Amino acid sequence: MTSTRRAGVGQAVRLALGTASALGFARFAYGLLLPAMRDDLHWTLADAGAMSAGNGVGYLLGALLATGLIRRLGAAAAFRVGMALTAGSLAATAVSGEYPLLLGIRALSGATGALVFIAGGVLASHGAARAASAVPITVYFAGAGLGIVVGGVTVPLLGAHWRLAWLGLGGAAALATVLSWSAAGADGGRPVAAGHARLRPLWTTALAYLLFATGYITYITFLSAYLTDRHAPVGQVVLTWTVLGVAVAVAPAVWSRPIATWPGGRALGALLAALGGGSALVLVSSAWPVVLLSALAYGATFMGVPAAVTAVMRAHVPAADWSATLAALTTVFAAGQTAGPWLAGLVADRTSTAATLAWTAVLCTAGAVIALVGRPAAPDHQHAPQTNGA
């Protein structure tokens, strides 16, 4: 590995603390806390899903505002601001059990998390261009696995003490903010031109991404509720989430080369197909080994999807338009993940929590078909640098 690639990967490792906070803590840890909050606050599954949807609404708003903020502040400063605000919003979630206030705080976490996600993605994309490799992108998105492991190991052990868990997550996010500070500065803090969003050549990719977003979020939101409804002991819940998080963290070793070298939407389609199949495993059997295998398959694929979408974008869009296009794709993503948990929760209230996992399997499989059948428009080789493998 050349010194340039090593530097790019090193920066991506520190930037990955952004996805650990914005995704692992601010979004996915809610699924771990859902059973305790549901019991203590007397929520229905639709209430629980609406809380996740509220986070999605905030994420959608953050995605819409991100381009303007990055244009004014620069990607590095936007990343740092988003990290600090995310840490504060996580700690604030412990303040009250009032549903409207919690909904507003969860929306704030979504908005700040979107800013981190997009700004960090822009920084990682430029790092990948310098390194001529997709590794910095896949490493950046794999940071969510670290957040899932930290939450999966600690949160279930706190039992009903969900307020204490949110305070702990806020503290962990604050530490991640400090440790990632210099990584964001590696590309400077100057304001940049945001360019133009170019979704037309990526419409099949965007549609597959929308289906993924609408589907994937319900699995990780309701997984703990599914296990709790089947009286799984705390140790099984901890191990299941740990396996899922570790799988996210090691996924770059599996997917970096396919994402970099497979043409069109093939890597995206393969990821979505594996994700749909893995989610469906728990519908076949609720036996613990099957659940673990499902969590392993889910973890090894779901954060590879945004990495694959980002790689497709880099290959088909001029570099000057990366920021605006990534923000537009994240807006599509946010719209899907906003509607998904609430709709799935409504279905689950009338059936069972297993319906939420079936929702993931069906929508991700449909996204796989679209990604494999559709083809992005031919890239502009003059402006869009390609990766050369892992």
* Tens digits of residue pLDDT in 223-233: 998 988 888 99
> Looking at residue 264, what is its pLDDT?
79
> Looking at residue 331, what is its pLDDT?
87
> Looking at residue 345, what is its pLDDT?
87
> Looking at residue 197, what is its pLDDT?
86
> Looking at residue 378, what is its pLDDT?
60
Domains and CATH numbers, the chain: 3-373 (1.20.1250.20)
Residues 145/29, Cβ–Cβ less than 8 Å: no
Percentage with pLDDT > 70 across the chain: 92
Please return the burial class of 100, using the count of CB atoms within 10 Å of its CB with bins 0-12, 13-18 and 19+. Answer: exposed
For the cut 60, the answer to whether the pLDDT of residue 44 exceeds it is yes
For the cut 70, the answer to whether the pLDDT of residue 383 exceeds it is no
CB atoms within 10 A of CB 53: 26
> Looking at residue 187, what is its pLDDT?
53
- Chain position carrying tokens 């310098």: 130
Q: Which two tokens stand for residue 356?
A: 């939420």
- What residues have CB less than 8 Å from 381, skipping those under 6 apart? none
CA distance 255 to 216: 18
Residue 274 or residue 378, greater confidence: 274
Q: What is the mean pLDDT of residues 270-281?
A: 96
| Predicted confidence band of residue 377 (pLDDT cuts 50, 70, 90) | low
- Nearest C-alpha neighbor of 177 from the set 10, 27, 18: 18
Residues 92/105, Cβ–Cβ less than 8 Å: yes
Phi, psi of 353 (to 5 degrees): -65, -20
CA distance 164 to 166: 5
CA distance 368 to 207: 10
CA distance 309 to 315: 10
CA distance 258 to 270: 9
Q: What is the mean pLDDT of residues 231-256?
A: 91
- Nearest C-alpha neighbor of 38 from the set 152, 125, 180, 160: 160
Q: What is the mean pLDDT of residues 185-194?
A: 55
User: Average pLDDT of the chain?
Assistant: 88
